[in-house]
Amino acid sequence: MGTEQMPQLPPAATTPHAHAVGETSPTGTVQRWLLDRIGGLWALLTDRPVSLYAASVLRIGYGSLYLVFLLREFPHRHEIWGADSPWTPALAQQLFDQTGWNSILTLSDSRAYFELCYVIALLTSALFTLGWRTRVLSVLFAVVVTSFHARAIFMTDGGDNLILLMALYLTLTACGQRWSLDARRARLKATGGGAAPTPVRNRSVQQLLDARSTLTTVVHNCGIFVIGAQVCVLYGAAGLYKVQGASWGGGTALHYVLNLELFQPWPALSHFVDEYTILIAIVGYLTVLLQVAFPFVLFGRLKYPVLVMLLGMHIGIAVLMGLPLFSGAMIVADAVFLPDRFYTFLPHLCRRAARRTGLRRPGSGRVAGPGTVPSQGRPGVPGSERRTTAAGRKDTSLAPELASDQS
C-alpha cells in the first residue's frame, strides 16, 4: 500500500481548465473590455474621416460670416483697423511685444498696403467659403482672422473670439471634401478619368501614400474632436458661471439684460418682451439648464431637441440684443454635432417639402415636349427592339467623336 502511487493527470488535461479560469476571471474581463475600447477608439481615429459634412458647414458658415462682417465694416475700416483708429499701430505693436500676438496689418503704415490687405481678406473669405484650394485657403483664412482680431483686440467680443478659434481649428480638418469647388473638381476628375489605367507603384511609394492618407485622417478627426470639445467647454463654463450669479438664480437676469441701452437694437421690442416676467424667468432657468446639461446629452437622441432650443436661444440673442455675429458663430458651431446622415437626408427632405408645397411636380420623369425626344422602343410593338438596337449602335459609334469634341 505504501509503495503504490496515485495516478497523475497529464499536464495537458489541466491546461484548458487553467485557461478557462484565466479567461473568466474579473481581471481578464476588464483587460478584454479595455482592449476592445482602445481598439474601437483607434479604429474611429484612423479608419475614415468623420463629420465631413459638418466640417464643410463650419467652413461655409464661418467664411460667409467673416465675409459679411468685413463688408459691413467696409465704410468704417480705417477707424477700426487703419491709420485713423484710436488704437494706433504703435500702441498695437507695444501690445504685441507684451502678449506675443502679431498682425500683418502693422507691417506697413501705407494706406495702399492696408487697402491691399483688406481686399485680400475679402477674397480669402469668399474663396474659403466656396471651398477653392481649401488646404491653402484655410491657413490663409486663419492668418486673416488672426491679423484683424489682433489689430483691434479691444473692440472684439465673444463672437470674434469663437470665430478666431474655429478658424485655427479648421486648418486641421478636411473641410473641403464636401460642398466645395474642390469636391466638384475631384468628382469631375474621377468621372473623366474612370477608364484610365491605374499607375503601377512600387511598395515603398504605396506605403508612403497610405501613411499620408492615415495621417490626414487622424489630423482631421482630432480637429473635429477638438472643435466639439471647445463647444462643450464653452456651454458648460457659461452655464456654471450663470449658476453662481444671484440674478440668474433669482430669475431676473434677462430682465436686466433687456433694459440695457447698449443691447437694445429695438427698444420697443425689448420693453414689450420685458412685460412677460414669468416667461422671462422660465427662459432664464431653461437657458442655464441647457448650457449645463449640453455636454451630457451629446450621445443620445436628446441632443436634437436641445440643439433646437439652443437655436431658438441664439436667434433671440441676435434679435433682442443685437449680436448677430455672436449668434451666427454659435449656431454654426452647434452644427458640428449633427451626423453626416442628417446632411445627406436634408436634400431629400427639401425636395419632399417642395413637392408638398407645389413648388416641384412629383413626376419621376421628364414630360415630353417639343424640345425632348420620346423613347423609341415600346414593348409589344413589332420592330421596336430593332430600332432601339440600331439607335444604341449609332450612339456607340458617335461616342468617340463626342469625347474628342469635349476634350
Q: Tell me whether residue 99 is in a domain.
A: yes
Distance CA(282)–CA(254), nearest Å, equals 10
Report how far residue 261's alpha carbon sits from residue 270's, in angstroms, rounded to the nearest whole number. 10
- Based on the structure, what is the number of domains in the chain? 1
Query: Is 171 inside a domain boundary?
Result: yes
Q: Are 259 and 270 in contact (CB under 8 A)?
A: yes
The answer to whether the Cα torsion of 205, 211, 213, 216 is positive or negative is negative
In a domain, 39, yes or no: no
CA distance 178 to 131: 9
340 within some domain = yes
- pTM for this structure? 0.77
Q: Which of 32-36, 120-124, 321-325, 402-406 has the lowest mean pLDDT?
A: 402-406
One-letter amino acid identity for 259? N
Q: Is residue 47 part of a domain?
A: no
For residue 147, give its domain range.
Answer: 52-185+213-347
Q: What sign does the CA torsion over 223, 228, 229, 234 have?
A: positive
**Does a structural domain hold residue 237?**
yes
> With 0-12 CB in 10 A as exposed, 13-18 as middle and 19+ as buried, what is 198?
exposed
Whether residue 252 contacts residue 281, with contact meaning beta carbons closer than 8 Å, is answered with yes
Each residue of 47-104: pLDDT tens digit?
888 899 999 999 999 999 999 999 999 999 999 999 889 998 889 989 998 988 899 9
H helical segments located in 100-202: 111-130, 134-151, 158-170, 181-192
Give, rounded to a whole angstrom, the gap between the first and last alpha carbons of the chain: 101
Please calculate the CA angle 258-264-267 and round it to the nearest 5 degrees.
90
Q: What is the pLDDT of residues 91-112, one digit of tens each?
A: 998 999 898 889 999 998 899 9
Q: Grid cell 462643450 — which residue?
A: 232
| In a domain? residue 244 | yes
Taking the CB of residue 288, how many other CB atoms lie within 10 A of it? Answer: 20
List, for residues 163-220, the tens digit of each pLDDT value.
Answer: 999 999 999 999 999 999 999 999 998 887 655 556 666 788 888 888 888 898 999 9
**Contact of 164 with 145, CB cutoff 8 Å:** yes
330 within a domain of the structure (yes/no): yes
